[in-house]
Amino acid sequence: MHARVHHETLAPAWPVQAILDLFALPFNDLLLQAQTVHREHHPANAVQQSSLLSIKTGACPEDCAYCPQSSRYHTEVEAAPLMPLDQVLEAACKARDAGAQRFCMGAAWRSPTERQLDQVIEHVQAVKALGLETCVTLGMLKDGQAERLKAAGLDYYNHNLDTAPEYYGEIIRTRGFQDRLETLHRVREAGLKVCCGGIVGMGESREIRAGLIAALARLDPYPESVPINQLVKAPGTPLADAPDLDPIEFVRTIAVTRIVMPRAVVRLSAGRETMHDSTQALCFMAGANSVFHGERLLTTPNPQAQADARLFERLGLVPMPGTESAALALDETAASTA
Residues in the annotated binding site for [2Fe-2S] cluster: 104, 135, 195, 267
- Spatial separation of the C-alpha atoms in residues 231 and 64, rounded to whole Å: 12
Specify whether the CB–CB gap between 177 and 206 falls below 8 A. Answer: no
Kindly name the residue from 64, 102, 186, 263 that is annotated as catalytic.
64
Which CA distances in Å does 90 have to 97, 106, 121, 289, 298?
11, 16, 17, 27, 16
| Residues sharing a CB contact under 8 Å with residue 57, sequence separation 6 or more, in sequence order | 69, 77, 78, 79, 80, 108, 298, 299
- Spatial separation of the C-alpha atoms in residues 4 and 182, rounded to whole Å: 10
The reply to whether 267 belongs to the active site is yes
Which residues sit in the known binding site? 60, 64, 67, 104, 135, 195, 267
Q: Which of 238, 135, 122, 226 is nearest to 187 (CA)?
A: 135
The reply to whether 39 belongs to the active site is no
Kindly name the residue from 218, 267, 272, 283 that is annotated as catalytic.
267
The reply to whether 96 belongs to the active site is no
The reply to whether 93 belongs to the active site is no
- Give burial (CB, 10 Å; 0-12/13-18/19+) of 11: exposed
Specify whether the CB–CB gap between 283 and 254 falls below 8 A. Answer: yes
The reply to whether 283 belongs to the active site is no
Kindly name the residue from 4, 39, 67, 206 that is annotated as catalytic.
67
The reply to whether 60 belongs to the active site is yes
- Give burial (CB, 10 Å; 0-12/13-18/19+) of 276: exposed
Kindly name the residue from 102, 135, 263, 283 that is annotated as catalytic.
135
Specify whether the CB–CB gap between 63 and 72 falls below 8 A. Answer: yes
Which H/E stretch holds residue 147? helix 145-151
Residue 233's Cβ-side half-sphere holds a number of Cα atoms within 13 Å equal to 12
Residue 70, beta-bridge partner list = 60
Question: What is the Cα 146 distance to its own chain's centre?
Answer: 18
Kindly name the residue from 186, 195, 209, 283 that is annotated as catalytic.
195
Specify whether the CB–CB gap between 225 and 269 falls below 8 A. Answer: no
| Residues sharing a CB contact under 8 Å with residue 131, sequence separation 6 or more, in sequence order | 96
The reply to whether 64 belongs to the active site is yes
Kindly name the residue from 104, 209, 263, 283 that is annotated as catalytic.
104
Sequential DSSP letters for 160-199 = --BS-TTTHHHH--SS-HHHHHHHHHHHHHTT-EEE--EE
Catalytically active residues, by annotation: 60, 64, 67, 104, 135, 195, 267
